Amino acid sequence: MTVRMVTKSVRFLPEESEELANLSKASSLSESALMKELILEGIRLKKLELAIHAYMERKTDLRGGAVMAGISFNRFLREIQARNIVVLENEDFLGELAFLAETFDSQSLRAAVERVRTSDQEDR
């Protein structure tokens, strides 16, 4: 089976073209191979960035984010943790937090739970 390749073209400023040529020489790759490598890496990073953003906006969970990014669950979890993003996958987390608010008679915890619940209802 033959795979048909598609050609895309990019316009560079002279200084950008010179930088590409220098990187090509330094990495012992042709400019074409280097551009393909850089573009594919950029695509991977953009997919990860979009998946992390979707996770932070609560549009997906960790598994969905991993699928969006095209990486394993564990790798996505490590990427989330590396960015110091809090992972709250426990479905009853708010219930447990509300229980603690009552147990410790904490008005600030009650208010936090209420804010999150109100925010969740507005998002739906």
- The whole-number pLDDT of residue 89 equals 67
For residue 123, being part of any structural domain is answered with: yes
pLDDT of residue 123: 58
* 106: containing domain: 90-124
Contact status, residue 38 vs residue 8, Cβ threshold 8 Å: no
Query: In angstroms, what CA-CA distances link 102 with 14, 29, 73, 108?
Result: 65, 64, 35, 11
Residues 6+ apart with CB under 8 A from 117: 94
Q: Is residue 97 part of a domain?
A: yes
Total domains, the chain = 1
> According to the model, what pLDDT value does residue 96 have?
85
Output the pLDDT for position 90. 62
Q: Give residue 92's pLDDT.
A: 74
Residue 116 within a domain: yes
Predicted local confidence at residue 25, as pLDDT? 98
Give 10-residue mean pLDDT values along the chain (124 residues).
93 98 98 97 98 94 96 96 84 82 94 84 63
